[in-house]
Amino acid sequence: MIKNILLTGCNGYLGSKFVEKFSNDYQINGFDTNFFDCSNKVATALGNVIQKDIRNLTTNDLQNIDCVIHMAELSNDPLGELNSKLTYEINHQATINLLSLMEKTNIKKFIYMSSCSVYGYNEKTVTEKSELNPITTYAKAKVRNENYILENDFSFKIAILRNATAFGFSPNIRLDLVINDLVYSAIKNSKIELLSDGKPKRPFVHVEDICNIIEHLIKNDNYEKLLLNIGRNELNCSIIEIAEKIAKLTNISNISIGKSNADERSYNVNFDLLKNILPNYEFVYNLDNGILDLIENFSKYIDSYNSRRLKKIKFLIRKKKIDEMLYWN
């Protein structure tokens, strides 16, 4: 039975939500370098967050752990393009090192946060068996990690989660995710401003459903190595469909359209395998209740630099708080 969890990236958008939901059910050790100022909220829930860069992990950090949930990475395409060498160092090499450290322990399970962005651009509906087409450094690093995991043997069970684009409120919200950004802009600026022409398609999933599914996969032992798309078929939408839904729910009709080639990524994803693996899982959120929940939370939310990850990292570099390789000075 899994009791002790090591959660890397515990202070992030998904990590802080996981802590909020499950810190009473598991002993969670949180590791994070804390670029985005969430240590207080998470530490209050956990009582224990270690400020540590995942590039510096040692086997001492993995003592008495049953399961590792690995979320700490540079978490989106623009951030991944800042310095591609750095992105491979944090997102790929540190993951490989973590896996090899885990081989020296009795850890039973590894849950890895990959992304549907490995599909990049595809006109057909993609499944876990489809050919990959990663466009950005961020997505290419995810593919490298997946391949490393799939091509090697490990002494622990592994679930690779190809998450759809997340949305929804969390203790450390990201406004660089399209639904969160558009709802925020509708509420605060009374306009819905698309960067693209709205045609690109992609799947969405609520942050809370991702956390619930991770927890189901912690409890479920019927796999050795699993590669799964995480999301629901009904939430494959074009950006313009999202904008229209937000317009309806916020009563803001002012939608402006961006450039036609502003976003090369477009894909429609099939999530049937997830239904087969977790047949009893019922999604908590669809688009409507997820957007309504965001609207309610944004009424009392004050934005800061933290919510846009690339902006915050550039700010920390400019102020010489961190160096060019993202180590704290």
Q: Write the burial class of residue 327 (CB in 10 Å: 0-12 exposed, 13-18 middle, 19+ buried).
A: exposed
Residues 43, 49, 62, 73: which binds ligand NAD (CB under 6 A)?
73
Report the residue from 46, 62, 65, 113 that binds ligand NAD according to the rule CB under 6 A: 113
Least distance from C-beta 40 to ligand NAD, angstroms? 13
Tell me how far, at minimum, the Cβ of 310 lies from ligand NAD, in Å.
10
Element (H, E) at 7: strand 4-8
The CB-of-290 to ligand NAD minimum distance in angstroms stands at: 13
Instruction: List residues bridging with 196 in a β-sheet.
Output: 259
* Min dist. Cβ of residue 123 to ligand NAD (A): 22
Q: Smallest Cα–Cα separation from 173: which of 7, 309, 287?
A: 309
Task: Work out how close the CB of 70 gets to ligand NAD at its nearest, in angstroms, rounded to a whole number.
Answer: 7
Binding status of residue 87 toward ligand NAD by CB under 6 A: no
Measure CA of the first residue to CA of the last residue in the chain; give whole Å: 40
By the rule CB under 6 A, 29 interacts with ligand NAD: no
- CB of 170: closest distance to ligand NAD in angstroms? 8
CB of 148 to ligand NAD, least distance (A): 15
Judged by CB, which is closer to ligand NAD: 192, or 316?
316
Q: Which is nearer to ligand NAD, 11 or 250 (CB)?
A: 11
SS3 329: coil
Look at the alpha carbons of 43, 15, 160, 213 in this order and tell me if their dihedral is positive or negative: positive
Q: Judged by CB under 6 A, which of 6, 13, 226, 265 binds ligand NAD?
A: 13
Q: Which amino acid is at 2?
A: I
**Nearest-CA neighbor of 247 among 166, 185, 186?**
186
**Exposure of 282 in the CB half-sphere (CA atoms within 13 A):** 1
Choose, by CB under 6 A, the member of 29, 163, 185, 229 that binds ligand NAD: 163
Contacting residue, 7, 43, 72, 246, with ligand NAD by CB under 6 A: 72
Q: Binding of ligand NAD at residue 169 (CB under 6 A)?
A: no
Give the Cβ contact number of residue 84 at 10 Å.
14
Burial, 202: exposed, middle or buried (Cβ in 10 Å; 0-12, 13-18, 19+)? buried
Residue nearest to ligand NAD (CB): 12
Residues 232-291 within binding reach of ligand NAD (CB under 6 A): none
Quick check: 90 binds ligand NAD (CB under 6 A)? yes
Across-strand partners of 322?
328
Q: Which of 176, 186, 171, 172 is nearest to 295 (CA)?
A: 186
- Positions in the binding site for ligand NAD (CB under 6 A): 9, 11-15, 32-36, 53-55, 71-75, 90, 113, 115, 163, 165-166, 172, 174, 177, 309
